[in-house]
Every structure is written in structure tokens, then in C-alpha cells.
């Protein structure tokens, strides 16, 4: 029998290669899409929008999701799930433009917090001086 292939379609499935599969089974806490799916702003999964693994806490997000959250002043640099200061595992991601933006945002929130603490100390100092 002679078979002629007229048309064919390739189908592939996609999966993050992490040591711990329990992470990839989770949903992103912000957009609630599985990590093997994309964030709402991406069409294809991949290194453009990798997983960001929490370092201070154990909460993980799509890069674009956590980026968008930390861009808000109201986020105060905190993890959306547990409200601890958000830090991520830097050893885990190769540095891209968006990773750099994430680092800058986290830094910006940190100096904001430091400034607030300084101001509190200053006003405390003023109060002490007034009492003298």
C-alpha cells in the first residue's frame, strides 16, 4: 500500500523543568493560572516570563504578575499572599531586562521603608528634645 501524506500537524506539550514538581502543579497566586500556562499578558510560556520563587516566603509567581504588583505603590514591596517583604531566589533565574526591573522595584520599596523608619526616628528624636 502506498500512503501519501497530504497534511500534518505537530502538537507539543510544555512543562517547566524544576526539580520539585509540586511547585509547577500550583497556580500563580496573582493571576490564578497554572505555572505551566502563561501569565495573562503572554502568549507563549518560556524564559521571557519565568517562575519567580519566593526566598523570604514560599510563594511563587509568574514574573510579569509579581512585577505588575510591585509596580504599585500600595504593594509596599510585600508578598500578596503573606504580606512579608518579598524577596526571590536570584540563583534560579538568568538575568533579563524584566528580572532587572524586578530587582530595582524590590530595592525601591526597601529604600522607601528605610526612609520611613528614619523619619520615625527623627520625629522621636524631636519629641525627646522637646521634653528636655
For position 80 contacting another protein by CB under 8 A, the verdict is yes
14, 106, 107, 117, 126 from 120: Cα distances, Å: 50, 21, 20, 5, 10
For position 83 contacting another protein by CB under 8 A, the verdict is yes
Q: Which of 47, 58, 72, 84 binds another protein (CB under 8 A)?
A: 72
Q: Do the Cβ atoms of 61 and 91 come closer than 8 Å?
A: no
For position 42 contacting another protein by CB under 8 A, the verdict is no
- Its sign, for the CA torsion 106, 79, 67, 51, is positive
Q: Which of 16, 23, 40, 85 binds another protein (CB under 8 A)?
A: 40
For binding to another protein (CB under 8 A), which residues are involved? 29-33, 40, 65, 68-69, 71-72, 74, 78, 80-81, 83
Amino acid at each position: 500500500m502506498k500512503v501519501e501524506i497530504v497534511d500534518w500537524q505537530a502538537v507539543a506539550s510544555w512543562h517547566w523543568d524544576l526539580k520539585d514538581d509540586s511547585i509547577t502543579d500550583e497556580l500563580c497566586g496573582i493571576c490564578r493560572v497554572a505555572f505551566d500556562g502563561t501569565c495573562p499578558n503572554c502568549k507563549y510560556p518560556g524564559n521571557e516570563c519565568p517562575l519567580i520563587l519566593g526566598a523570604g516566603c514560599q510563594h511563587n509567581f509568574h514574573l510579569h504578575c509579581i512585577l505588575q504588583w510591585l509596580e504599585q505603590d500600595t504593594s509596599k514591596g510585600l508578598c500578596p499572599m503573606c504580606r512579608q517583604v518579598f524577596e526571590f531566589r536570584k540563583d534560579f533565574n538568568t538575568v533579563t531586562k524584566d528580572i532587572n526591573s524586578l530587582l530595582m522595584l524590590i530595592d525601591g520599596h526597601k529604600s522607601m521603608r528605610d526612609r520611613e523608619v528614619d523619619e520615625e526616628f527623627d520625629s522621636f528624636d524631636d519629641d525627646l528634645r522637646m521634653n528636655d
